[in-house]
């Protein structure tokens, strides 16, 4: 069973629809105890880091996610969930969960001079790094995924990066650190390739699945 962490800052409905399409058994909860028996977790998120951390602490998910990470069971962070698993975010100088060493940086102000908009929004293709990841099995390199973000992940150890996108700089957009994987883009909004990624994570098949 796949658990989905609901902490009042997540793109829950889109993830739910994707898992329904794949026929994946799942449970959504705002209570950590309800997800303890899950085989794997999806930790989605949209919005601001400081607010998200506040909501996680309020529900007790901050402690739960740290314990989960230590347990060795799979954890997948998505978008904001891929950011606040790091140690610190420059967004309102926010201490985060610290599951992976590294920081979350704001896109440089010089981007405007280059004609690049912030947030980085829309479709962008990704390239494998450090051998890629099993999450990308069956997905051709340079496939497009859907992004919406103003900050980017900056792992302390670049060898944990499994994919990157080109947006003025090489933007890490997928990481693997032990039992933790995370993607900056939204697989649940990325069409057929996004469904393949979620199916790979959940041990499901895309046969009969439809793009949401």
Q: Which residues are catalytic?
A: 79, 186, 188
Q: Are strands 169-177 and 151-155 parallel, antiparallel or unpaired?
A: unpaired
What is d(CA 75, CA 13) in angstroms, rounded to the nearest whole number? 19
Looking at residue 9, what DSSP letter applies?
Answer: S
Cβ-contact 153, 172 below 8 angstroms? yes
Strand order, beta sheet including 94-95? 94-95, 86-89, 100-106, 151-155
How far is Cα 55 from Cα 9, in angstroms, rounded to an integer? 8
The rounded distance, in Å, linking the Cα atoms of 69 and 82 is 14
According to DSSP, residue 192 is labeled: H
Cis bond before residue 150 (omega within 30° of 0): no
């Amino acid at each position: 069973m796949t658990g989905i962490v609901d902490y009042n800052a997540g793109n829950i409905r889109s993830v739910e629809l994707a898992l329904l399409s794949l026929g994946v058994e799942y449970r959504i909860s705002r209570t950590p105890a309800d997800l303890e028996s899950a085989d794997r977790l999806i930790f989605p998120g949209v919005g601001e880091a400081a607010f998200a951390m506040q909501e996680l602490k309020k529900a007790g998910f901050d402690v739960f996610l740290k314990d989960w990470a230590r347990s060795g069971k799979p954890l997948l962070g998505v978008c904001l969930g891929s950011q606040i698993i790091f140690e610190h975010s420059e967004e309102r100088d926010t201490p985060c969960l610290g599951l992976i060493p590294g920081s979350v940086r704001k896109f440089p102000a010089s981007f405007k001079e280059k004609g690049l908009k912030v947030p980085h929004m829309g479709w962008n293709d990704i390239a494998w790094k450090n051998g890629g990841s099993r999450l990308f099995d069956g997905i051709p390199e340079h496939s497009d995924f859907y992004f919406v973000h103003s900050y980017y992940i900056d792992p302390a150890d670049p060898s944990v990066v499994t994919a990157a996108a080109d947006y003025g700089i090489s933007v890490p957009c997928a990481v693997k650190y032990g039992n933790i994987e995370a993607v900056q883009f939204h697989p649940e909004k990325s069409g057929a390739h996004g469904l393949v990624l979620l199916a790979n994570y959940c041990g499901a098949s895309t046969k009969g699945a439809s793009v949401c």
